[in-house]
């Protein structure tokens, strides 16, 4: 069974609207029905490969069926979401045409991406005296530390933005189910009026 | 080829391969080849042991090296050229019954013995040894986190690439 192009498109749209990898896994399973676990996992990896360019998605479907233990895929999610955002130009044509804005276009994410990209190309202090006094091993360590720090900053920017996106969705649902919510703008006069 | 290897021929292609252990589908190899900047990069996961009751270890009938060899023969038969063998080693969860950290653990141990991390990756890990057997001995670290000033780790997240010199 190979990935269905329609499902691939749905997965991309879901991610752009704020779905996490566990939600995407559930979407794949829902589309293809219950299968034996190795087959399901193979299929999930195939979808992440085709939809987002993730070579080998490393979380298995059985984790989702474990109630709160489903949170065990969170460490993998943090890394995969980071990769999906970094590879967005490869899988999201609407980004090229700027046809729509998503949570990934937020200032926090775009700035962190720029910083990460520049880290990979900049010359690390060039010819400054202090840099030239370092031995090669230390230079290498400093370079790796800067790249690592920027990579962590990007992960934080991505996850905090995604969390806020999900919070906004919760607010919409709260408004929908509790129309008298005090957070909702009220047609009635407030105190003091 | 080990007779316990069951190749999923109907889904195997020039860029994808899957085979499992006839006696237990929990043991398998899955490989994928992606083209990035004109290089064909092989990534794979292989699983040959899992925890058993009372702290024991259950082993399949197929060794990791045998799965790797079967995969390699498949891609050779398909006429696929492989420029890079890529190892992605991390301590993140992959299965409900445990982590797949054989390479990462071996790498961190090897760092204490070998003079460079390139040597440790090439000679001290299962993937490194499979790659070396196929003459992919040039080692490049695309990622080795967290950074280690002495280069001895321990690392929790490594992406290492093996190429032919």
- What digits encode the pLDDT tens for the residues A84-105? 998 998 899 776 666 678 888 8
Vertex B139 angle, CA B7 and A44, to 5°: 35
Quote the mean pLDDT of chain A: 81
Number of domains within chain B: 1
- Rounded to the nearest angstrom, the minimum Cα separation between B143 and chain A is 9
As a 3-state breakdown, chain A gives helix, strand, coil percent values, each rounded to 5, of 70, 0, 30
Residues of A in contact with B145 (CB under 8 A): 148, 151
Query: Which pLDDT value is given to residue B55?
Result: 82
CA distance B37 to B91: 28
Q: Are B137 and B116 in contact (CB under 8 A)?
A: no
User: Taking 50 as the threshold, does the pLDDT of residue A37 lie above it?
Assistant: yes
Nearest 10 degrees: Cα torsion A139, A140, A144, A146? 10
Instruction: Tell me which of A178 and A30 has the higher pLDDT.
Output: A30
Question: Using N-to-C axis directions, what is the helix angle for A74-86 and A107-121, rounded to 10°?
Answer: 70
The gap from C-alpha A19 to its chain's centroid, in whole angstroms, comes to 9
User: Taking 60 as the threshold, does the pLDDT of residue A69 lie above it?
Assistant: no
Q: Is A114 left (phi over 0), alpha (psi -120 to 50) or beta?
A: alpha
Query: Which pLDDT value is given to residue A190?
Result: 45
- If interface means Cβ-Cβ distance under 8 Å, which residues of chain B face chain A? 11, 16, 18, 20, 25-26, 28, 30, 32, 34, 41, 43-45, 86, 88, 90, 92-96, 100, 144-149, 151, 157
- What digits encode the pLDDT tens for the residues B33-88? 999 889 999 999 998 988 888 888 899 999 999 999 999 999 999 999 999 999 99
The boundaries of the domain holding residue B47 are: 5-163
Question: Which of A21, A58, A74, A79 to substitute to test the interface with B, most B CBs within 10 Å?
Answer: A58
**Reported ipTM:** 0.82
In chain A, domain spans: 5-91, 106-177
């Amino acid at each position: 069974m190979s990935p269905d192009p329609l499902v691939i498109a749905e997965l991309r749209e879901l991610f752009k609207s704020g779905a996490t990898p566990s939600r995407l896994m559930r979407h794949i399973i829902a589309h293809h029905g219950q299968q034996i676990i190795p087959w399901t996992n193979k299929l999930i990896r195939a979808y992440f490969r085709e939809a987002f360019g993730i070579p080998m998605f490393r979380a298995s479907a059985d984790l989702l069926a474990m109630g709160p233990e489903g949170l065990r895929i969170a460490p993998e999610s943090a890394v995969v979401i980071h990769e999906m955002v970094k590879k967005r130009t490869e899988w999201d044509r609407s980004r090229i045409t700027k046809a729509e804005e998503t949570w990934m276009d937020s200032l926090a994410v775009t700035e962190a991406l720029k910083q990460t990209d520049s880290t990979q190309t900049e010359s690390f202090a060039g010819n400054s005296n202090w840099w030239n006094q370092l031995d090669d091993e230390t230079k290498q360590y400093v370079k790796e530390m800067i790249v690592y720090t920027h990579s962590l900053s990007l992960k934080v920017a991505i996850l905090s933005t995604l969390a806020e996106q999900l919070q906004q969705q919760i607010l919409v649902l709260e408004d929908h189910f509790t129309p008298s919510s005090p957070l909702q703008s009220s047609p009635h006069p407030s105190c003091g009026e | 080829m080990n007779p316990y290897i069951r190749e999923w021929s109907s889904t195997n292609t020039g860029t994808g391969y899957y085979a499992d252990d006839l006696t237990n589908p929990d043991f398998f190899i899955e490989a994928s080849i992606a083209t990035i900047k004109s290089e064909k990069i092989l990534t794979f996961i292989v699983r040959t042991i899992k925890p058993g009751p009372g702290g024991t270890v259950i082993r399949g009938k197929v060794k990791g090296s045998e799965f790797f060899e079967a995969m390699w023969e498949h891609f050779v038969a398909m006429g696929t050229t492989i420029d890079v063998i890529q190892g992605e080693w991390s301590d993140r969860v992959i299965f409900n019954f445990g982590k797949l950290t054989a390479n990462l653990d071996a790498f961190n141990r090897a760092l204490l013995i070998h003079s460079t991390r390139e040597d440790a990756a090439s000679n001290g890990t299962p993937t490194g040894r499979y790659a070396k057997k196929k003459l992919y001995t040039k080692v490049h670290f695309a990622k080795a986190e967290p950074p280690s000033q002495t280069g001895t780790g321990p690392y929790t997240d490594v992406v290492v690439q093996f190429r032919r010199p």
